[in-house]
Amino acid sequence: MRVLVVGAGGREHALCWAIAASPALTKLWCAPGNPGTAEVAENVAIGVLDIFELVAFARANRVDLVVPGGEPPLVAGISDAMMAAGIACCGPSSAAARLEGSKAFTHEICDAAGIPAAAWERFEDAHSAREMVRRRGAPIVVKADGLAAGKGVVVAETVAEAEAAIASFMEDGSLGESGRTVVIEECLVGQEVSLFALCDGVHAIPLGAAQDHKRVGDGDVGPNTGGMGAYSPPPALTPALEQEAMTRIIRPALAEMARRGTPFRGILFAGLMLTAEGPKLIEFNVRFGDPECQVLLLRLRSDLLLALQAAVDGELGHFALKWSPEPAIGVVMAARGYPGTPVKHTPIGGLAAADGVDGVKVFHAGTEVLDGRLVSSGGRVLTVCATGSDLGAARAAAYAAVAKVEWAEGFYRSDIGWRALG
Ligand code: AMP
Ligand code: GLY
């Protein structure tokens, strides 16, 4: 098979790495890719939102399967465009990608399908939003309806904080159109885990679970990020709870999407809160998480490419994936300044030594080669991952590898896995 992965982060490096291991693969490209993907695929200089050029490339190179990594091309319709050109794409249509693109849409699906989620209301005017916040009191959650790259959610501890978020999103337009409509939600309490499912429109199979670390600093302090580290499996999501989440959240959502004529194909990522009343949905994403993907794929023992193809072909009914019993952990190394403005083009060394630690795999994200040297080029720069006989051993290996990376301007959290390990 001839495969094109779309994206340039650690997630896409991991996707390329796993797909490259498939005996069914004959040729792999990554657009635009990074120096890590270049080790296992041929990088193609086309941006993730240049859908017209991606389709032309896929057609000209007889690509059999396109695998988009992130949500921007999915929401923009890459699957629709590829399908229209007769090219298979393992990702939802733009209509189905609304599960990530609009929080209000997701709530409507949950209400229609009886999926447990936070109580919510949608507002188009700031005055009514403020009234509701004053009536309900804090804590309360204010969310921009549209995509906001992780900046659209405020878990407000006080009414004043909630009102400030309403003013910022709805009146100051801090997030542009994404924040003109807001969703205000009940604040759920519990442990948060991410559950992934591979879907073919009708069937869904579990694709592993992980716990992310969204805050930038040790002890979960500081601003939100795309994710500073992850581990899998999270002990808090017992097999019984995972089963419950598949039955009460993932499968009803899939059935409701199909009933509406917009079946969901691809990877459905459920952000769950494990509340006293059982798992409740916080949000859906329509793709793998980053860095969750990196740790999940380290544990996958089945052929990823065949699984993605089965999802596209509607053949997941009898498909099951095999997993390593060994846990995996991933530590993100980010550039100083992240999640604000990261310092760029600072030299990175020691990756061969880091990769050489037993059980370790280093994935590239924001790196580039400049004048023959590897330098940083983004906020999240590397995901240093490891497996081990238990989570403690995996964590020790990952941090031993981090210590071998020579990068003065990089930083990382030193407590990835703390909820499971203390
Ligand atoms: P989201 O972008 O929807 O994932 O939200 C970002 C983060 O805000 C989540 O990972 C949760 O930690 C938190 N969050 C979102 N919605 C709620 C809620 N209803 N109750 C409590 N925390 C929430
Ligand atoms: N790490 C969270 C995400 O990819 O959305």
Domain boundaries, the chain: 2-89, 125-180, 189-313, 328-421
Residue whose Cα lies nearest atom 4 of ligand 2: it is: 289
Residue 175 has what pLDDT? Answer: 86
Indicate whether residue 271 lines ligand 1 (CB < 6 A): yes
Residue 235 structure tokens: 């002990």
Measured CA to CA, the distance from residue 206 to residue 202 in angstroms comes to 14
Residue 226 structure tokens: 């795309």
Class of domain 125-180 (CATH, top level): alpha beta
Indicate whether residue 108 lines ligand 1 (CB < 6 A): no
Indicate whether residue 118 lines ligand 1 (CB < 6 A): yes
Fold of 189-313: D-amino Acid Aminotransferase; Chain A, domain 1 (3.30.470)
DSSP 8-class letter at 323 = B
Q: Ligand 1: distance of its center to the CA of 396 in Å? A: 30
Indicate whether residue 71 lines ligand 1 (CB < 6 A): no
Q: Which of 291, 407, 364 is nearest to 43 (CA)?
A: 364
| Gyration radius (Cα) of the chain, Å | 21
Name the pTM for this structure. 0.95
Residue 149 has what pLDDT? Answer: 72
Residue whose Cα lies nearest atom 7 of ligand 1: it is: 153
Residue 147 has what pLDDT? Answer: 80
Q: Ligand 1: distance of its center to the CA of 271 in Å? A: 8
Atom nearest to 285 CA in ligand 1: 4
Ligand nearest the Cα atom of residue 143: 1
Residue 178 has what pLDDT? Answer: 84
Residue 176 has what pLDDT? Answer: 80
Ligand nearest the Cα atom of residue 285: 2
> What type of residue is 228?
M
Q: Which of 332, 331, 330 is nearest to 298 (CA)?
A: 330
Residue 146 has what pLDDT? Answer: 85
Residue whose Cα lies nearest atom 6 of ligand 1: it is: 153
8 A C-beta contact, residue 274 and residue 207: no
Residue 223 has what pLDDT? Answer: 86
Residue 101 has what pLDDT? Answer: 84
Q: Give strand pairing partners of 153.
A: 143
Residue from 292, 293, 338, 383 to probe ligand 2 pocket by mutation (most atoms less than 8 Å from CB): 292
Task: Reply yes or no: is the peptide bond before residue 327 cis, omega within 30 of 0.
Answer: no
- Quick check: do 189-313 and 328-421 share a fold? no
Instruction: Give the residues of the chain that fall short of pLDDT 50.
Output: none
Fold of 2-89: Rossmann fold (3.40.50)
Q: Ligand 2: distance of its center to the CA of 27 in Å? A: 28
Which residues have CB under 8 Å from 420's CB, separation 6+?
A: 211, 231, 234, 235, 236, 391
Q: Ligand 2: distance of its center to the CA of 191 in Å? A: 16
Atom nearest to 269 CA in ligand 2: 5
Indicate whether residue 50 lines ligand 1 (CB < 6 A): no
Fold of 328-421: Glycinamide Ribonucleotide Synthetase; Chain A, domain 4 (3.90.600)
For the chain, give the number of residues: 422
Q: CB under 6 Å to ligand 2: residues?
A: 212, 226-227, 285, 289-290, 292
Q: Ligand 1: distance of its center to the CA of 397 in Å? A: 31
DSSP-derived pairing of the beta strands 380-387 and 360-364: antiparallel
